[in-house]
Amino acid sequence: MIQLEKPVAIAADHGGFALKEAVKEHLDQLGVTYHDFGTLDGASCDYPQMALPACNAVVNGECSVALLFCGTGVGISMAANKVRGIRACCCSDTFSAEFTRRHNNANALCMGGRVVGAGLGCALVDAFLNAEFEGERHQRRVDMLKEIEDAQASL
């Protein structure tokens, strides 16, 4: 049972629009709240512009995690990882979706609408949202990621 304190941030470019819509239906069935940052109609748009407001909502505490979609999932994950405080992963298997939360404390799951079908996409979302960060030895590594991020910010 998915238990989140805050809504999920959702965003997609045109290549991920159909998968985003399928995931929204799935979240509705589960009773999981979300904030859709677009695209709202599937018209051609740029994934960096779609990722930024959703990632900002996670970083500022408005949303718990982000679910992001583009054609491959790769471009939007690259854009998401440029946002300080975001740890985005592009996944197309449930093991990775689960363990990136458990071990890397990922806060954004990215998927490709041209790579992942609706059924698998919903399974990835379930694996991601149901997993919890294990901390302990993994926290040290997440702290190292933050140190890299902080060092780059000061350049």
Give the CATH number, domain containing residue 41. Answer: 3.40.1400.10
Assign 1 a pLDDT band (cuts: 50, 70, 90): low
Does some domain include residue 109? yes
Q: The domain containing residue 127 runs over which residues?
A: 8-153
Beta strands 88-90; 108-112: pairing state: parallel
Does some domain include residue 2? no
Under a CB-based contact definition with an 8 Å cutoff, are residues 97 and 128 in contact?
A: yes
Which of 1-5, 79-83, 121-125 shows the lowest mean pLDDT across its residues? 1-5
pLDDT tens-place string over residues 23-47: 999 999 999 999 999 999 989 999 9
How many domains, in total, are found in the chain? 1
Average pLDDT, the chain: 95
Does some domain include residue 82? yes
Q: Tell me the CA distances in angstroms from 1 to 82, 86, 98, 107, one per residue in order.
A: 31, 24, 14, 18
Does some domain include residue 131? yes
Q: Give pLDDT, residue 2.
A: 73
- Active-site positions read 70, 103
Q: Give pLDDT, residue 135.
A: 81
